[in-house]
Structure formats: structure tokens, C-alpha cells
């Protein structure tokens, strides 16, 4: 089952060096979710071959412009190309007021149903859940109210031993129940345990998105043991005082957080415009947490 993240934008507030403000697409089993929507997001979607009308859910972490100023344009374009399906939008309560005002003065009435889900900035909670995926939010500590997002895969199916079930002439109609861990009983009454016919289910995977925040222990309980953790890393650690002043994190701190929370892999992003060369940020984080990568626009990362 596909579970991967495409980086659309990895810059902080000022677009620089052909880097764009924050935005990502999460592909979970061909369901597309947009995480933040900085300026130029719809152009980045087009550049990397993502059809915006395939996006069913958009998550906005906070109301600093580099995380949502591309939203009005994207929603309007979806309207212009004839979107009909519902679009679910999750974000701070004030975001609805902003959108309503924009559409009021542009005299825009969307052709599709925009379903707004306000997020509490003060308490964690589950904001979306179906049979295969759960999305949770947790508070971060930024200059304004800000939340992170956690995407947890539901229980996965066992792996069928194809050669075994075929040799036993087990009808294919029983494959789904065997993959759920149920035994198979043949016509003579002989029982074949699920363990004989399949391998244990792979562990469920998780993606954690830590938007703008100063380093604090408060959100660490909500980001434990992520298969892939994205964490903002605006500055190098020689600017840690500036990071604290602006409620941001250094690459070194991001590495420490990944290590402390037992993440499997760390993805850096939200780079300050002062850094043309990102390699020092990568090296700094790797000094603490070796399995670290730079988020690079146009690159897919597996969860």
C-alpha cells in the first residue's frame, strides 16, 4: 500500500533560491492529502503532475502566510476547472473568516462543497479517521497558534503465502479472511491455522508533520516512533538564540527530537532564506541523528 510524501515547498517565509513556501502532498493508497498551502502551491502541483481535483483533504497548520497564502488561489482554480466533489479543509477557526471575506469581495460562489473543520490549537485530537488511516493534531509552540499533524496507518493485512494456499486449492474467496488472521476449514473439517497460510501483518506506518515551533518537550509524546518525521529546521544551531526568539527550531535540535522520540527517519525543511547551501543543515542534524534527509522540492519520500 502506497504511503509517501511529495515536497512542493521547503522554504520558510521568504521564497529564495527557487525554493517555495511550505506545502506537501501525502499519497496514502492513492488518496491525496495536502499539508499546508504556501504561495505558489497550485503551480507546484502542476509542475509535478498532481491534479488538484484528486485532493480530498487539506490541512493548514497555522495562519502565517507562508503556510496558507496559496489556498485562495488553489480553491478558486478548483472552482474554475469544474470540481464537483466535496473538499474537506482543516485549520484554525479564523481561516474560515479569511476565506469567506475573500470570496465575498470577489463574488465567488464555489461550485463544490467546501467542508470546514476548525482545529483546536490547545489540545490534541483526532480530526479524520476511516478504516485505513487516522489523522491527529497536536499543539506546537509558535508565535501564533500552530498545530502539527500525525498520519497513522490502520492495521495492515497479513501476507498470504500464495504457494501454500494454491497447493491446498483454497478458493480465492477465503483469501481476505485469512489475511485478517482467521483460520481456514476445508470440506473435510480439517483446520489450517492462519499462521500456516500467511505471514504476520507488517507493522503499521506513521508520518509526523511538525510545522513551525520552538523546541519544547510538550509535543514529544504525540510524535513518538514515527516511520518518517518531518520537522522544521529553519536555522543552523549557531543561531539558536534567533530560533528561540522567532519560535523556530535548529537543524541540530530537529536531530535531537528525532533521536529522543525514536523516529526511524527525519526529514528537514522550512529553510531560512539566508542559506543557499543546505548541506550544513543536513550535516548538523546527522551529527545527532544519522538517518536524516533534506526535503527537496519535487522529491517523493516513502513513509
Active site residues: 66
Helix axes 279-286, 251-260, angle to 10 degrees: 30
Chain CA centroid to CA 149, Å: 7
Distance CA 16, CA 210 (A): 22
**169-178 b/e with 16+ CB inside 10 Å = b?**
ebeeebbeeb
Distance CA 50, CA 147 (A): 25
Q: What is the H or E stretch that residue 268 is in? A: strand 266-269
Distance CA 76, CA 66 (A): 18
Reported in sequence order, the residue ranges of 98-255 that DSSP labels E, i.e. its strands, are 114-118, 125-129, 133-140, 146-153, 159-160, 184-185, 191-192, 198-199, 206-210, 228-232
Distance CA 68, CA 296 (A): 20
CB-CB contact of 75 with 42 (8 Å): no
Amino acid at each position: 500500500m502506497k504511503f509517501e510524501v511529495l515536497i512542493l515547498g521547503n522554504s520558510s517565509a521568504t521564497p529564495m533560491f527557487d525554493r517555495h513556501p511550505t506545502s506537501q502532498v501525502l499519497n496514502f493508497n492513492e488518496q491525496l492529502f495536502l499539508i499546508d498551502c504556501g504561495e505558489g502551491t497550485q503551480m507546484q502541483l502542476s509542475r509535478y503532475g498532481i491534479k488538484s481535483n484528486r485532493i480530498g483533504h487539506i490541512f493548514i497548520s497555522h495562519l502565517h502566510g507562508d503556510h496558507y497564502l496559496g489556498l485562495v488561489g488553489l480553491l478558486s482554480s478548483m472552482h474554475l476547472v469544474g470540481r464537483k466533489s466535496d473538499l474537506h479543509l482543516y485549520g484554525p477557526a479564523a481561516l474560515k473568516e479569511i476565506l469567506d471575506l475573500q470570496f465575498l469581495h470577489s463574488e465567488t460562489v464555489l461550485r463544490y462543497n467546501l467542508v470546514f473543520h476548525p482545529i483546536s490549537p490547545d489540545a490534541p485530537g483526532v480530526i479524520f479517521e476511516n478504516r485505513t488511516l487516522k489523522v491527529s493534531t497536536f499543539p506546537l509552540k509558535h508565535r501564533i497558534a500552530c498545530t502539527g499533524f500525525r498520519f497513522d496507518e490502520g492495521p495492515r493485512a497479513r501476507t498470504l503465502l500464495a504457494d501454500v494456499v494454491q497447493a491446498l486449492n483454497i478458493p480465492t474467496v477465503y483469501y481476505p479472511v485469512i489475511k485478517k488472521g482467521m483460520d481456514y476449514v476445508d470440506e473435510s473439517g480439517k483446520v489450517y491455522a492462519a499462521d500456516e497460510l500467511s505471514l504476520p501483518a507488517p507493522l503499521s506506518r506513521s508520518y509526523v508533520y511538525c510545522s513551525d515551533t520552538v523546541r519544547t518537550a510538550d509535543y514529544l509524546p504525540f510524535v513518538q516512533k514515527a516511520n518518517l518525521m518531518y520537522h522544521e529546521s529553519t536555522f543552523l544551531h549557531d543561531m539558536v538564540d534567533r530560533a528561540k526568539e522567532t519560535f523556530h527550531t535548529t537543524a541540530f535540535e530537529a536531530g535531537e527530537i528525532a533521536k529522543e522520540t525514536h523516529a526511524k527517519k527525519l526529514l528537514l525543511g522550512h529553510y531560512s532564506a539566508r542559506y543557499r547551501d543546505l548541506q550544513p543543515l543536513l550535516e548538523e542534524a546527522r551529527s545527532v541523528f544519522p538517518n536524516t534527509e533534506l526535503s527537496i522540492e519535487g522529491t517523493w519520500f516513502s513513509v
